[in-house]
């Protein structure tokens, strides 16, 4: 489906990492009427685009979701209370309360004749028992069932996927869902507990280099594996899924699997340093291994992520390093 660039598109979570990048992509693609909504005050948004209708609003409140939907034709829901593995494990109830956002946006979309609705799901919907080895078998979409997702955040995502499906089946609302796998890039959280592994490691290495430290902390033994997806690939996959006719959840993720230790190697090479590693064995690490099976997205859209990890991490490190140069150290934790 060709999206009408003159119609209003609502980006829920526009103040977040992915949301800020998506708004920029929509503007560069010629969308004239972009409305961005986020819980955070505007000055706390990761990216601020003055061309859009930017609003601070709590979409967990039903009335606010309806207010945000005025004259909206398309909805992209990226809004959620989430962060890195420590935040997710310590804030399960807060993560699950994000279900209110998606539920209210679905209701408002149904009642205002929204044409198409996108929900951003996560690889956390997959069962931990399929992710117990570093050399993990890549996760295909059908592996989400029988259901036993990551507690809290994963359950909210899987439940919201089902809500989208049933609103499509029962009310005719065209919904689309993508499962994002470890999205990273510049203009996002790089400290404070909300950051993901690539940004955290870039920050630790950049701080160590700047302040002359010889050692950084690594959570776990560093042998846990992941595939990381650069933000530009995430946006391309999102827009293909959103505008396409495939209705079931689909993976949007790189299949370039590597360990955290290997990720540190890459960041050190980019930074031009070699550091000792203090392995924090009592720190949260999540599942032992996770990778994306891209068979389905290749079959449906003849596409899969293409930005290499080396290239994406280089871009991310340069940005994080600039932020570190203009801020106070966090003592390398």
**Residue 114 burial (C-beta neighbours within 10 Å; 0-12, 13-18, 19+):** buried
DSSP character at residue 327 = S
Which token pair is 170? 């029962």
If you write DSSP's letter for every residue of 177-203 in order, what string do you get? EEEE--EE-SSS--SSS---HHHHHHH
If you write DSSP's letter for every residue of 141-160 in order, what string do you get? GGGG-S----TTHHHHHHHH
Give the three-class secondary structure for 116.
Answer: strand
Output phi, psi for 152, to 5 deg.
85, -95
- Cα 145 from Cα 199, distance rounded (Å): 31
Active-site residue, from 126, 153, 184, 230: 153
> Is 153 annotated in the active site?
yes
Cis peptide preceding 245, ω within 30 of 0: no
- Cα 133 from Cα 137, distance rounded (Å): 9
Which residues participate in catalysis according to the annotation?
153
């Amino acid at each position: 489906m060709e999206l009408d660039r003159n119609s209003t598109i609502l980006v829920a979570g526009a103040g977040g990492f992915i949301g800020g990048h998506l708004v920029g992509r929509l503007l560069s693609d010629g969308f004239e009427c972009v409305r961005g909504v986020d819980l955070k005050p505007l000055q706390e948004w990761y990216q601020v685009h003055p061309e859009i209708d930017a609003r601070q609003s709590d979409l967990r409140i039903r009335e606010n979701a309806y207010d945000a939907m005025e004259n909206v034709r398309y909805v992209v829901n990226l809004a959620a209370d989430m962060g890195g593995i420590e935040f997710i494990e310590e804030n399960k109830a807060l993560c699950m309360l994000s279900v209110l956002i998606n539920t209210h946006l679905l209701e408002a979309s149904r009642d205002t004749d929204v044409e198409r609705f996108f929900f951003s799901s996560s690889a956390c919907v997959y069962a931990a028992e399929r992710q117990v080895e570093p050399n993990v078998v890549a996760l295909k979409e059908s592996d989400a069932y029988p259901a036993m997702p990551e507690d809290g955040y994963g359950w909210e995502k899987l439940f919201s996927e089902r809500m989208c499906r049933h609103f499509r089946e029962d009310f005719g609302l065209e919904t689309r869902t993508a499962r994002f796998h470890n999205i990273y890039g510049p203009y996002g959280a790089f400290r404070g507990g909300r950051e993901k592994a690539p940004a955290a490691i870039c920050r630790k290495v950049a701080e160590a280099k700047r302040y002359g430290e010889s050692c950084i902390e690594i959570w776990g033994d560093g042998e846990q594996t992941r595939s990381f997806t650069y933000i530009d690939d995430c946006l391309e996959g999102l827009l293909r899924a959103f505008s396409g006719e495939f209705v079931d959840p689909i993976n949007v993720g790189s299949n370039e699997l590597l360990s955290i230790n290997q990720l540190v190697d890459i960041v050190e090479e980019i930074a031009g340093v070699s550091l000792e590693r203090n392995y924090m064995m009592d720190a949260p690490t999540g599942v032992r291994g996770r990778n994306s099976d891209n068979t389905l997205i290749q079959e449906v859209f003849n596409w899969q992520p293409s930005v290499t990890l080396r290239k994406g991490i280089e871009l991310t490190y340069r940005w994080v390093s600039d932020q570190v140069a203009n801020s106070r150290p966090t003592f390398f934790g």
